[in-house]
Chains A and B, each alone.
Chain A
Amino acid sequence: MAGQQPTGTGTARNGRAMLAEFGQRYGILAALVLVCVGLALANEFFLTQRNMVNVLRQASINGILAIGMTFVILTRGIDLSVGSVVALAGVVSASFASTSATAAVSGAPHPTLLAIAVGLGTGILAGAVNGWLVARHKVPAFVVTLGMLSAARGLTLIYSGGRPVPGLSDGYRALGTADLFGIPMPVVLFAGVFLGAWFVLEATRFGRHVYAAGGNPHAARVSGIRVERVRMAVYVISGALAGLAGMILAARTGSALPQAGIAYELDAIAAVVIGGTSLAGGVGRVTGTLIGALLIAVVNNGLDLMGVESYYQQVIKGGLIVAAVMLDQARHRAA
């Protein structure tokens, strides 16, 4: 099982045990390093600072979604609605920051902070509805969030009339385009979200509750953990992060598109799963998700650099997801 060290005697066995443990802990990281080394050798442009920053920027939106997804999956849930919530939060918050005469709400552009609060609030609201149905009414998460995937997309189209929300204020656009010491804002936000999530899951009581509620909800409940509240909270977190991702996406492109974020949930789930988090709940780390998101971005970037057509890229990514999980399972069996 994870974390259990094989006992052995002799240096050869110790060496193998150490290798096994290294693999168990750092398998995906090793894969990421390997892919990076391979790409660096194959293409001189890959390792340039510009490309690296580019990769990080590409990873950030999916990474933020995947971190929210990690919370949900740790509790044995799933959130299929994040792609649609990206679009919904994007158009709603953009309408508060837009200078466009037709798409903006009255009095816009409002202060950037208000627009951001509205975007986060939209995500939180969608997440709360998901969480309420899952936790309180025991509707399977797959069904609830599948419903929200459709409903939130519909609400996006209704709200925006099916048209983009253009003309975003400079302050708002900074979310996607500004730099902090040469690091793009999306990457800064991604890093912040990662550190926050890491702290919450590793070091707080709520984090312990998430692992326990996912590992064995019955035992958690008997031990005095309010499992329903934990479930509710993880969908709210996922929704809020989807809202954040939606705003970053809108800010980066300069206008919020109602068709933004389609199928984003799939990449987010892929990053979580590649990162070693178990769909059965209770097992996984947000560091794994970070590496999973980076691996997806690096592979996408590498295939771009090598001029592989995007159609083929999807096939390769599909193979990568399954291969990563097979590898993970083989490692656990071997341990």
Chain B
Amino acid sequence: MNVPLLEARGLAKRFGGVAALRDGSFRLMPGTVHALCGGNGAGKSTFLSLVMGIRRRDAGTLLRRGAPVDFAGPLDALRAGISIIEQELSPVPAMSVAENIFLGREPVGRFGRVDFRAMNARAQELLDSLHFAIPARRLMMDLTVAELQLVEIAKALSYEAEVIIMDEPTSALGEAEADQLFAAIARLKEQGKGIVYVSHRLSEIFRIADHWTVFRDGAFVGTGEMRDINREALIRMIVGRPLAEEFVKENTPTSEIALELRGVSSGARVRDISFAARRGEILAIYGLMGSGRTEIFERLFGLAPDEGGEIRLFGQPQALSSPQEAIAAGLAYVTEDRKQSGLVLSADVRANLCLARLGALSAGPVMLRRREASAAARMIETFGIRTASDRLDVSGLSGGNQQKVVLGKWFLTEPRILLLDEPTRGVDVGAKREIYRVMSDFARQGGTVVMISSEIDEVLGMADRTVVLRDGRISGELDRATLSAERLVHLAA
């Protein structure tokens, strides 16, 4: 009989009076990938922090190969052969890739001197073995986000751990990099290692996982083998109620063109881009990381330089050289990374909601508190933002609710064209559906949605038309009839 590499029984943790985790149970067998699923706030992150010893558990047992263990910290867990790839990256930017991988355990030569040659060689060997095309001597600050993520993965694997926890490892990766990761995971499986895989992307889970475990509201809900469950059943487990449909799409495109780009170039990555989006339409832009997709939005919002081409809104040429101009012209831009550029995390929900609309909520230079409060209340109601008060810090909200705050901020500006960059990243299945509902309603009422997405399912489910980008240029355009996952991947790579 196989002994589980890692088993947790009834782990529990309370913060203040609130139970973040009541019953975290989990069992990882050698040579398998085990998906840990659950919505935001289901207790996955708390569970992982208890397993790694980052936080002390209040109750429960943790078994490593059948023996009870109690880690005082991540270092302890690491020594016991458990490593983690965290969701939040923690690079030392001014150091090389190799230095980051071997941080704190640099190979040492004579007189305590760091043996850089050995370190670089070992790091390169590791990266090559994973088929990650990253030079070990490159500085971290010169890497893209996707490459940083790959380095983080390489680092976690370099500990030769037997149990590897991956918390949303593909959230910053494009399709091609994700494939490299999955290939690496397959090799780890062959070596008999166990992988705990946390991801909101169900298609990934169905692709690579052998087992699943679902947490909901801080408790274990169920576990089983992937081959015995289908997508709908898993979603039902995660959400706790049947979802009628994963996607909501009730809009019909009109023939009136709202946004038109003609030969637009900007920065290093946007070359001669032409496409049009109509009123009532949801247009998807699909492309790998680095294909220039975000840069198109940055150009439209005046955040990237105008280097040729013409942009028309409702037939009128527009310069769009600053965010102020773009907002005035009826554009709204939900950025890719809500913590980086969407929210002011140090501020409360109300301040965040009102941020793009301060002019209309003030008389001259003076803010009108009552108008701010009622505007915020309206958006909280419209989007069903779950918060006890609009004066609470936005940082305390779940990912899905934070995303709804960003959407609320933009809807207050009464936009006509919505630019959404990865609108459902890091958002749980239930909140995803609500965001799809918002997009669909907006388009149905005559708005235009342009959505960047690297989730193929989302593109297939929501887009009326899809523009595919490769290396800053348009490599194809697909309408709903000709759209398929294979075509998307083919055109993008």
Give the B-binding residues of A (Cβ under 8 A).
Answer: 1-9, 13, 203-209, 211-212, 214-216, 218-226, 278, 280-283
Contact B343 A216 (CB under 8 A): yes
Which A residues lie within 8 Å of B16 (CB)? 6-8
Contact A221 B358 (CB under 8 A): no
Contact B340 A203 (CB under 8 A): no
Kindly state the separation between the CA atoms of A211 and B350 in the bound complex, as whole angstroms: 13
**Most-contacted residue by chain A among B324, B355, B369 (CB, 10 A):** B355
Contact A282 B346 (CB under 8 A): yes
Kindly state the separation between the CA atoms of A66 and B358 in the bound complex, as whole angstroms: 27
Contact A282 B395 (CB under 8 A): no
- For window 87-122 of B, CB contacts with A under 8 Å fall at none
Contact B323 A221 (CB under 8 A): yes
Which A residues lie within 8 Å of B347 (CB)? 211-212, 215, 282
Query: Smallest distance from the beta carbon of B396 to chain A beta carbons, Å?
Result: 6
Contact A4 B344 (CB under 8 A): no
Query: Smallest distance from the beta carbon of B361 to chain A beta carbons, Å?
Result: 8
Kindly state the separation between the CA atoms of A13 and B355 in the bound complex, as whole angstroms: 35
Contact B346 A215 (CB under 8 A): yes
Give the A-binding residues of B (Cβ under 8 A).
Answer: 16-18, 301, 303, 323-324, 326-327, 333, 335, 340-348, 351, 354-356, 358-359, 362, 365-367, 369, 388, 391-393, 395-396, 409
Query: Smallest distance from the beta carbon of A321 to chain B beta carbons, Å?
Result: 22
Contact B344 A215 (CB under 8 A): yes
Which A residues lie within 8 Å of B366 (CB)? 203-205
Closest to A7 in B: B17
Which A residues lie within 8 Å of B351 (CB)? 208, 211-212
- Given known pairs A219-B341, A222-B303, the reply for A8 and B17 (CB within 8 Å) is yes
- Given known pairs A205-B358, A205-B359, the reply for A2 and B393 (CB within 8 Å) is yes
- Given known pairs A7-B18, A206-B365, A208-B367, the reply for A216 and B341 (CB within 8 Å) is yes
**Most-contacted residue by chain B among A203, A207, A218, A220 (CB, 10 A):** A218
Kindly state the separation between the CA atoms of A1 and B15 in the bound complex, as whole angstroms: 13
Kindly state the separation between the CA atoms of A272 and B56 in the bound complex, as whole angstroms: 36
Which B residues lie within 8 Å of A205 (CB)? 358-359, 362, 365-367
Contact B344 A1 (CB under 8 A): no
Query: Smallest distance from the beta carbon of B372 to chain A beta carbons, Å?
Result: 9
Closest to B334 in A: A222
Name 24 interchain pairs, CB-CB below 8 A, sorted by A: A1-B393, A6-B16, A7-B17, A205-B365, A208-B358, A214-B346, A215-B344, A216-B344, A218-B335, A218-B340, A218-B341, A219-B335, A219-B340, A220-B344, A221-B323, A222-B341, A223-B323, A223-B356, A224-B324, A224-B326, A224-B356, A226-B324, A278-B346, A283-B346
Which B residues lie within 8 Å of A212 (CB)? 344, 347, 351, 355
Kindly state the separation between the CA atoms of A283 and B346 in the bound complex, as whole angstroms: 7
The 10 A-B pairs at the shortest CB distance, nearest first, are namely A215-B344, A218-B341, A282-B346, A223-B356, A215-B346, A1-B393, A216-B344, A223-B355, A224-B327, A224-B323
Kindly state the separation between the CA atoms of A207 and B396 in the bound complex, as whole angstroms: 23
Contact B365 A204 (CB under 8 A): yes
Kindly state the separation between the CA atoms of A7 and B343 in the bound complex, as whole angstroms: 24
- Given known pairs A13-B17, A204-B367, A223-B356, the reply for A3 and B324 (CB within 8 Å) is no
Which B residues lie within 8 Å of A7 (CB)? 16-18, 388
Closest to B393 in A: A1
Query: Smallest distance from the beta carbon of A25 to chain B beta carbons, Å?
Result: 13
Q: Looking at the complex, which one of A1, A209, A225 makes contact with B395 (CB distance below 8 Å)?
A: A1
Kindly state the separation between the CA atoms of A1 and B392 in the bound complex, as whole angstroms: 9
Query: Smallest distance from the beta carbon of B242 to chain A beta carbons, Å?
Result: 31
Kindly state the separation between the CA atoms of A209 and B388 in the bound complex, as whole angstroms: 25
Query: Smallest distance from the beta carbon of B347 to chain A beta carbons, Å?
Result: 5
Closest to A226 in B: B324
Which B residues lie within 8 Å of A1 (CB)? 393, 395-396
Query: Smallest distance from the beta carbon of B415 to chain A beta carbons, Å?
Result: 12
Kindly state the separation between the CA atoms of A2 and B324 in the bound complex, as whole angstroms: 31
Which A residues lie within 8 Å of B369 (CB)? 203
Closest to A200 in B: B365
Which A residues lie within 8 Å of B326 (CB)? 224
Which A residues lie within 8 Å of B391 (CB)? 3
Kindly state the separation between the CA atoms of A47 and B355 in the bound complex, as whole angstroms: 46
Query: Smallest distance from the beta carbon of B386 to chain A beta carbons, Å?
Result: 14
Which B residues lie within 8 Å of A221 (CB)? 303, 323, 341
Which B residues lie within 8 Å of A207 (CB)? 367
Which A residues lie within 8 Å of B396 (CB)? 1, 4
- Given known pairs A1-B395, A205-B362, the reply for A219 and B367 (CB within 8 Å) is no
Contact B335 A222 (CB under 8 A): yes
Closest to A216 in B: B344
Closest to B372 in A: A208
Query: Smallest distance from the beta carbon of B78 to chain A beta carbons, Å?
Result: 25
Kindly state the separation between the CA atoms of A6 and B347 in the bound complex, as whole angstroms: 17
Query: Smallest distance from the beta carbon of A133 to chain B beta carbons, Å?
Result: 22
Q: Looking at the complex, which one of A3, A208, A225 makes contact with B393 (CB distance below 8 Å)?
A: A3
Kindly state the separation between the CA atoms of A8 and B15 in the bound complex, as whole angstroms: 11
Which A residues lie within 8 Å of B388 (CB)? 5, 7
Closest to B301 in A: A222
Query: Smallest distance from the beta carbon of A73 to chain B beta carbons, Å?
Result: 13
Kindly state the separation between the CA atoms of A13 and B303 in the bound complex, as whole angstroms: 49
Known: A204-B362, A216-B344, A222-B323. 16 other contacts (CB 8 A): A2-B393, A3-B392, A4-B392, A13-B17, A205-B365, A207-B367, A211-B344, A211-B346, A215-B344, A216-B346, A222-B301, A222-B342, A223-B356, A225-B355, A278-B346, A282-B347
Which B residues lie within 8 Å of A2 (CB)? 393
**Most-contacted residue by chain B among A206, A214, A222 (CB, 10 A):** A222
Query: Smallest distance from the beta carbon of B481 to chain A beta carbons, Å?
Result: 35
Q: Looking at the complex, which one of B17, B323, B327, B393 makes contact with A9 (CB distance below 8 Å)?
A: B17
Kindly state the separation between the CA atoms of A205 and B111 in the bound complex, as whole angstroms: 60
Kindly state the separation between the CA atoms of A206 and B343 in the bound complex, as whole angstroms: 18
Kindly state the separation between the CA atoms of A223 and B410 in the bound complex, as whole angstroms: 8
Q: Looking at the complex, which one of A6, A204, A206 makes contact with B17 (CB distance below 8 Å)?
A: A6
Q: Looking at the complex, which one of A3, A206, A223, A224 makes contact with B348 (CB distance below 8 Å)?
A: A3
Contact B393 A4 (CB under 8 A): yes
